[in-house]
Amino acid sequence: MKNLQPIEVSQQLKPMIDAQRAVLPTPSFGVGGYFTEEVEMRDGVKLLTKVCVPDRGNRWPCMFMRTPYEAFWAMGPINGIPFIEQGYVVVIQYCRGTNGSGGIYEPFGQERNDGIDALNWLSSQPWHDGNIGTYGSSYMAYVQWLVADNLPPQVKTMYIESGGSDWYAAVYANGMFRHDSFTTWPVGNCGDPQKFMETYKAALKVRPHNTMCEKLFGCEVAYYQGFIANTARNDHYWTDSYWGTVIQNPKKINVPVCITDGWFDHNVGSSMAGIRALRPEIRKQSKFVFGPWDHLGQMPGVLDYPDGGKFGVGKVLLMIEWFDRMLKGKGTDKSPVSEYYAIGEGKWHSFENWSFDTRDTVFYLGGNNWLYNNADDRGRYDYKYDPAKPFMHIGGSDLLSWIGGNGYSDRGPQLQPSHYDRNDVLVFKSAPIADDILIAGGPIVSLEVSSTAPDTSFMVRVSEEFEDGRIVNIVDGASSILLRNESESILDYMPGEKVVLKFRMYDIFWQFKKGSCVRLDISSSNFPMYHLHPNKAGATFTYILVFAIPRLA
C-alpha cells in the first residue's frame, strides 16, 4: 500500500457525517487515509484518482465514482468516510480537465472512453476484492449510464441517483425546452459562482438566445448550443452521438442496478425512462426508490413528509444496504424490494414489481370551468397568448436555478393563488372527492386545441385544492403543436386546424384527501420553467423574447 495521507474534514461537516453514522450499522473499520494515482487514458491523458482505504486489511469491496466537481472530495459526507468505515475502498476520479486531471474538460462528450478506460484500470488493481460498484448522482449518474454496456466482470452493480438515461426527454417536453433547468448548468459552470443569480437573469434576457454563451462567457458552450438548436428527437444530435448511446444503454445492462430519484427532481422523468428501458430480467433483480426529494435530496415545499428522510443524509443507508447486498452478499436470500413514497399520505410503499397496479380515473373539461367524470357536457374556451406578456407558475419540478438562489420561484409543491388576474390562464376544478384517492404513475391530459398561429405552445398543471382552500401544485406538462404527442419529428399544422395534444407528465405518487378538488390550469406559457414560444412555425431560441417576471403574490 502506498503512503497514505489523512482525510481531513472541516468542523462544519462533522455533524453531517455524524448524522450519517447514526442511521448506519456500527462501524467495523476506521479511516486509514488515501493515496493518489494518475490513471492514463487511451490517448495518454492522465486523470487524477484518489483511493480511500479503511485502517485494516488490504483488499476490500470497492465503490467507484467519476466526477467533475471538486466538492465531492472537499465534502466529507460525499467523499466516502461513512463507506470506508463500513469496510469499502472508495475511489474518486476527476473527469478530464477538472481538479488536477489532465486534458480539456468538454462536458459529456469525453466520458465514455474515459469511463471505460478507468474501469479497465480499476478492475486490475490489487486493493479491491473483485467486487466493484459504481455510484453517483446527476452528472455522476450520466457517466455511469454512458458505460453501462461495457462493464468489466468485476463490476457487479451500479447505484444511479437523480440522473436518467433519456436526455432528450429531460431537456424537452413535446418541443418545449426546459429553460430553467438546463440553462442553470452552463451558467453555474461557466460564470462566476458568486454572481450566479445576476448571470442567470442576464442569460434569460439575451436575444437571440443562441448568442447567450458568447455574450456572457466569451465562448460557445457546445452541448448547450446543441440543446437549443435541436428540438426534435430524431435530430442527428440526439441519435448519432453519445446522447444516443445513453438512451440505448439501459436495455444493454447486464448487472442489477439501484435507481433512486425524487418526485420533485427535474430528472425524475428521465430516471423513470431508464427503468422502463431495462430488460425485464434486470428489472427483477434491481431496486428502485423514489421519495419526496429534489435534485439535492432535500424535501422542498409546503407539505410535510413524515419519515421522508429515513435513509439519512445523502441516502447513505440506502447506498450501504444496496452495496452490502451486491458486493458483500448480504440479504441475497430475498428479492430486492422497490420503495415509493406517497406524498400527502406520508407513507412508504413497498413493491416487489417496479410498477404500480392502477386503474384510470378520468375527468372531462366541462362547461363553467368544471372537471366532470362523464363526457356529456364538454366546454369550449379560448384565450389570447402573447409571448411579450408571459405567465409563470409558482413551484414545480422542472426548476434548478434555486440551487443558486432563484428569485423567480421555489421548487416542489408550493401554495397557488385561487385565481389569476389575467385572462390567458384557464382554471378548472372537480367536485370535492368523496374518499381519499392515491394516484400513481404519470397523469395524462388530452386537449383538443386550435390556434391562429402556425405553431404555439400549451401548458398544463395539475394541483390539489384542499378542503380548507389551500391549493398545492402536483405536476406540470408542456407541448408545442408541431412536436405534439411525443413525436420524433416536426409535424404539419395549418392555422385553425383542430388537433389533440396529449401531455404525459412525470410520474408521481400522491394522495388526494377526502374533500379536496382536482384542479387543472391551462395556459400557453410557464416561464422560466419552459422557454417562451414565439407563435412561429419552425422558430428556435433565436426568436424567444424574455422579460423579467415578478413573483406572484
Query: What pLDDT, on the 0 to 100 scale, is given for residue 552?
Result: 28
- Cα distances from 78 to residues 83, 122, 314, 486, 535, in angstroms, run 9, 20, 8, 37, 46
Residue 418 DSSP code: S
Query: What pLDDT, on the 0 to 100 scale, is given for residue 538?
Result: 66
Question: Which are the contacts of 19, defined by CB distance < 8 A and separation ≥ 6?
Answer: 312, 313
Query: What pLDDT, on the 0 to 100 scale, is given for residue 377?
Result: 62
- Cα distances from 471 to residues 415, 445, 453, 462, in angstroms, run 6, 19, 33, 10
Tens-place pLDDT, residues 146-200 = 999 999 999 999 999 999 999 999 999 999 999 999 999 889 888 788 888 899 9
Tens-place pLDDT, residues 76-112 = 666 799 999 999 999 999 999 999 999 999 999 899 9
Cis peptide before 443 (omega within 30 of 0): no
Paired residues of 464 in beta bridges: 472, 518
- For every residue of 164-229, DSSP letters joined together read -S-HHHHHEETTEE-HHHHHHHHHHHHS-GGGHHHHHHHHHH-SSGGGHHHHHHSS--HHHHHHHH
Question: Which are the contacts of 309, defined by CB distance < 8 A and separation ≥ 6?
Answer: 299
Query: What pLDDT, on the 0 to 100 scale, is given for residue 543?
Result: 36
- Stated as kind and residue range, the H or E segment containing 157 is strand 155-161
Paired residues of 472 in beta bridges: 415, 464
Query: What pLDDT, on the 0 to 100 scale, is given for residue 42?
Result: 97
Three cell numbers written together for 455: 405553431
Query: What pLDDT, on the 0 to 100 scale, is given for residue 209?
Result: 87
Domains of the chain, each with CATH number or no CATH: 1-161 (3.40.50.1820), 171-243+353-553 (2.60.120.260)
Query: What pLDDT, on the 0 to 100 scale, is given for residue 550?
Result: 28
**Separation CA 242–CA 237 (nearest Å):** 9
Give pLDDT tens digits along the chain (553 positions). 678 999 988 888 889 999 999 999 999 999 999 999 999 999 999 999 999 999 999 999 999 999 999 877 776 666 799 999 999 999 999 999 999 999 999 999 899 999 999 999 999 999 999 999 999 999 999 999 999 999 999 999 999 999 999 999 999 999 999 999 999 988 988 878 888 889 999 999 888 888 999 999 888 899 999 999 999 999 999 999 999 999 999 999 999 999 999 999 999 999 999 999 999 999 999 999 999 999 999 999 999 999 999 999 999 999 999 999 999 999 988 999 999 999 999 999 998 877 767 778 888 888 888 888 776 666 789 999 999 999 999 999 999 999 887 655 689 999 999 989 999 999 999 999 999 999 999 999 999 999 999 999 999 999 999 999 999 999 999 999 999 999 999 999 999 999 999 999 999 999 999 999 999 999 999 999 999 999 998 654 433 333 332 222 2
